[in-house]
Amino acid sequence: MTDASLLREKNCPHNVVYEFEPSKLVRTFILESTQKDLIFICEENLGSPESLLDLSVLETLLGSSSLTYNPSGVADALSLIATKSSVQRVILDESVFDRDLVYLPTAGRNAAIEIRPDDLRKVLIDLGFDSEADKPKLITYDFGYTTNNQTTQHRVISGIQSSGDMTLGNYLGAIINWKKQIEKYDENFFFIADLHSLTVLPDPADLRDRIRKTVMTLIACGLDLEKAALFRQSDLGGYHTELAWIFSCLTPEGRLEQMTQFKDKSQKQQMIGTGLKTYPILMAADISLYQATLVPVGDDQRQHLELCREIVRRFNNRYGYTMPVPKAEVPEVLARVMSLTDGTKKMSKSDENRDSCIYLLDSPDEINRKIKRAKTDSDPTLSFDENRPEVFNLLSIYQVLSGKEKEAIERHFEGKGAAALKQELTELLVEELKPIRQKYNELASNPCLVDAVLQKGRERVEPIAKQTLAIAKQRVGL
């Protein structure tokens, strides 16, 4: 018997669908202890593939000290309950009830069962799992704490490294989206992640210079700082680092060693500082300290954000709800800008080849020279083909700057070749970056304006950081 046939048998309203929102998928796993339990959990509340859910949460919830689960999941879970009495209890993620519809995976095909949350609960009760009995067999629990934060309002936080000479990758991959999100969301906090810069042991004088340049460049890029706050992480460093220490005591060391960036960067450094490994914990504190609900991230930071979500869930479960579990906001277009000389590598200031990057303060002549030298391939046609990384990268940059759809761009350049694309792309870049260079030069001659922006940003966010840390300390017993 399948879930669908069981629901038909019980006359429960449902549909079998092949197109559905992945965020509304409800996954199921068998939990093994002295008895078998079954957990229904929302897709977005799951952890990473290596750690689907913190088992200590479930052990506390069920009063068991030795739980394991089947990481491959269970399809047709309702049918399993109906046909096998070995399932003793059901744990139902309370986040299910924040959705109008949920989707249960089906076995053996790329489809899902569409069902209303209340109907799912009714079926479970009809199968003998009652939540009102002396010993409830149906337990509801909010693993994502979404019921504490169901609101149309969002606070969004974004950090950027103090790189100094910011690249086109920074601008298209982050700053353009920051400008859009200021208009889209209620509160937006932006900070210079200068504490994170210490992981590579920079020269102190150079670091101070780069911090200043980064702040001036962000202001020059036109962020609406009447609606958003811009501040320096180290100006509030005591709050960040103290919460990071609390978080570090809740984070298994093995999870840090699984981080891809740690693996990659540790191979490039002769001395591996502890900060390089604990970087994601400080990032989690950066986010949680300000009660952020959304975090715009590129592909390279998604793993770190997932660890942040795990840490926050673990803290909230152990000490009581204190901060929201943040969600990722991934840009739809050009989440990563690639090198002009190698389309398989991210555009980076650390690249030894200066022609691989467009810098926001580059002159028109420098932009023209770099785009002309940008690598393409021998195919004269232009298409958004990811198997042609250099051409795909140039077209993607053009797409963001022009605002045109992919199909329209391909039609526009049909029969014209890479030279035409490079010429038009150069014109777009020169026009886009001209006001940034002009504003930057104004700020360089008036440093008081920069100091005023940072002070205003600090005054706006510090009360939130102070309150969050005070509650967290009280919760852990300090």
Q: Which residues are catalytic?
A: 265, 346, 349
- Sequence-separated (6 or more) residues with CB below 8 Å from residue 386: 392
Q: Name the token pair of 448.
A: 């008081």
* Separation between Cα atoms, residue 194 and residue 161, nearest integer Å: 6
Q: Of 425, 434, 435, nearest to 400 (Cα)? A: 425
What would the two tokens of residue 287 be?
């986010």
The two three-digit tokens of residue 129, written as one number: 């799992």
Beta-bridge mates of residue 114: 15, 103
How far apart are alpha carbons 48 and 170 in whole angstroms? 27
What per-residue string of b and e applies to 361-371 under the rule 16 or more CB within 10 Å gives b? bbeeeebbebb
Distance CA 64, CA 49 (A): 23
Q: 116: helix, coil or strand? A: coil
Contacts of residue 237, defined as CB under 8 A and 6 or more positions apart, other chains included, come to: 195
User: Residue 88 carries which side chain, given as an amino acid letter?
Assistant: Q
- Structure tokens of 223? 């962020």
Cα distance from N-terminal residue to C-terminal residue, the chain: 54
In terms of residues, how long is the chain?
478
- Which residue from 147, 474, 145 is spatially nearest to 317, judged by alpha carbons? 145
Beta bridge partners of 228: 188
Q: Which residue has the tokens 């991230």?
A: 297
Measuring CA to CA, which residue among 2, 13, 208, 44 is closest to residue 117? Answer: 13
Query: Phi and psi at residue 277, in whole multiples of 5°?
Result: -80, -40
Question: What residues contact 343, with CB distance under 8 A and at least 6 apart?
Answer: 375, 388, 389, 390, 391, 392, 393
Give the three-state DSSP class for 55: helix
**CA diameter of the chain:** 78
Residue 463 tokens read as 């009360």
